[in-house]
Chain A
Amino acid sequence: MAQVKIDCMYEPCPIPLLKAARELSSLELGDVVLIETDHSCAIANITEWAEKEKLDCWIEETRSGDWNIYIKKT
């Protein structure tokens, strides 16, 4: 079970989700993508997409205005 980290700090809205989707398409079942982002809209955006694609997704807030978003390929 691999975990791939994508650093999306300081990057604006659609970029984190676009990068995550691109990464996920090349991963295997059970692998996890970790997106590091500080964009508040990206969370809403990514969680909705993950729900729609029926992927496991959870978030932790690491520091003020920073989040780790985990998406697992299921």
Chain B
Amino acid sequence: MINQGKNDRLWQYVGGVLLIFVLVLIISRMAERSSVNLLFGVLFGFTLQRSRFCFVSCARDPVLFGNTRSVNALLLSLAIMTVAFPIIQNIQLQSIGKIVGQVHPVGIHTAVGALLFGFGMVIAGACASGTLMRVGEGYLMQVIVLIGFLIGVLLGVLNFGWWYDRFIAEAPVIYLPQYFGWIRAVIFQLGVLLVLYFFIKHYSSRKKIKI
């Protein structure tokens, strides 16, 4: 670093080590479930920041700049979980009779919600995970985004009934193994991710920034 002495950063390292101690203390005293939640949150946040993993970058960069590293990392991440999650789902199905994970009704509400979410995340400069990460990094702008999130979520909760009655209540839950069987569903999904990889690679190699 050129403009800053070592001592200026010393307080950060000390602070970091102190934070580790505090976290270890808290986590070791919490109820088991709570300690797992806090620990994993910290690990998620640490990993996100260390690798600058950004979903907005995944959605925006291939289209805007032709950059694909973010989206490739995302595809890899999804591929790994595509193999791992169903194994756990299968085990849990046999032991508790329920499908675990994020399985939701799909319909117009999904499309409209996603469209709005995509728009919002680009103008806010971060998605949900990114916002939390940047609040931790010290970005005041994302603190405002978080406040916006809390307002928006509240509005959504109050307005939920309208969407539920019109779209969500009748929407089907399409759980791939129900239609393809476990193994074919996993292979199908891995295939989709692979096709996406090549499609994005080809498409972005021809991309030039237009200002």
Interface residues of A (CB under 8 A from B): 10, 12-14, 17-18, 21-22, 25, 40-41, 43-45, 48-49, 52, 60-65
Shortest CB distance A12–B (Å) = 3
Instruction: Assess whether B66 is in contact with A52, with CB atoms less than 8 Å apart.
Output: yes
* B-side contacts of A62, CB under 8 Å: 1-4
- A60-B56 in contact given A14-B64, A21-B211 (Cβ < 8 Å): no
Instruction: Assess whether B52 is in contact with A60, with CB atoms less than 8 Å apart.
Output: no
* A-side contacts of B125, CB under 8 Å: 12-13
Q: Which residue of chain A has the shortest Cβ distance to B140 in the bound complex?
A: A10
Q: How far is the CA of A65 from the CA of B4 in the complex (A)?
A: 11
B138 within 8 A of A: yes
Instruction: Assess whether A13 is in contact with B57, with CB atoms less than 8 Å apart.
Output: yes
Instruction: Assess whether A45 is in contact with B57, with CB atoms less than 8 Å apart.
Output: yes
B8 within 8 A of A: yes
Which one, A40, A43, A45, A63, contacts B1 given CB within 8 A? Answer: A63
* B-side contacts of A43, CB under 8 Å: 52
Shortest CB distance A42–B (Å) = 9
Which one, B9, B69, B138, contacts A44 given CB within 8 A? Answer: B69
Q: Which residue of chain B has the shortest Cβ distance to A12 in the bound complex?
A: B125
Instruction: Assess whether A63 is in contact with B65, with CB atoms less than 8 Å apart.
Output: no
- Which of chain B's residues 109-124 have a Cβ closer than 8 Å to chain A? 122
**Which 4 interchain pairs have the tightest Cβ spacing?**
A12-B125, A21-B209, A22-B211, A44-B52
B137 within 8 A of A: yes
Q: How far is the CA of A17 from the CA of B125 in the complex (A)?
A: 14
Instruction: Assess whether B52 is in contact with A49, with CB atoms less than 8 Å apart.
Output: no
13 additional contacts (CB under 8 A) given A45-B65, A63-B4: A13-B56, A13-B125, A14-B60, A18-B64, A18-B209, A21-B65, A25-B211, A41-B54, A48-B67, A48-B69, A52-B66, A62-B1, A63-B8
Q: How far is the CA of A60 from the CA of B2 in the complex (A)?
A: 8
Q: Which residue of chain A has the shortest Cβ distance to B56 in the bound complex?
A: A13
Instruction: Assess whether B211 is in contact with A18, with CB atoms less than 8 Å apart.
Output: yes
B159 within 8 A of A: no
- A17-B1 in contact given A12-B125, A64-B12 (Cβ < 8 Å): no
* B-side contacts of A45, CB under 8 Å: 57, 61, 65, 67
Shortest CB distance A43–B (Å) = 8
Instruction: Assess whether A40 is in contact with B2, with CB atoms less than 8 Å apart.
Output: no
Shortest CB distance B156–A (Å) = 24
Shortest CB distance A21–B (Å) = 5
- A64-B8 in contact given A13-B54, A14-B64 (Cβ < 8 Å): yes
Instruction: Assess whether B2 is in contact with A65, with CB atoms less than 8 Å apart.
Output: no
Q: How far is the CA of A72 from the CA of B56 in the complex (A)?
A: 27
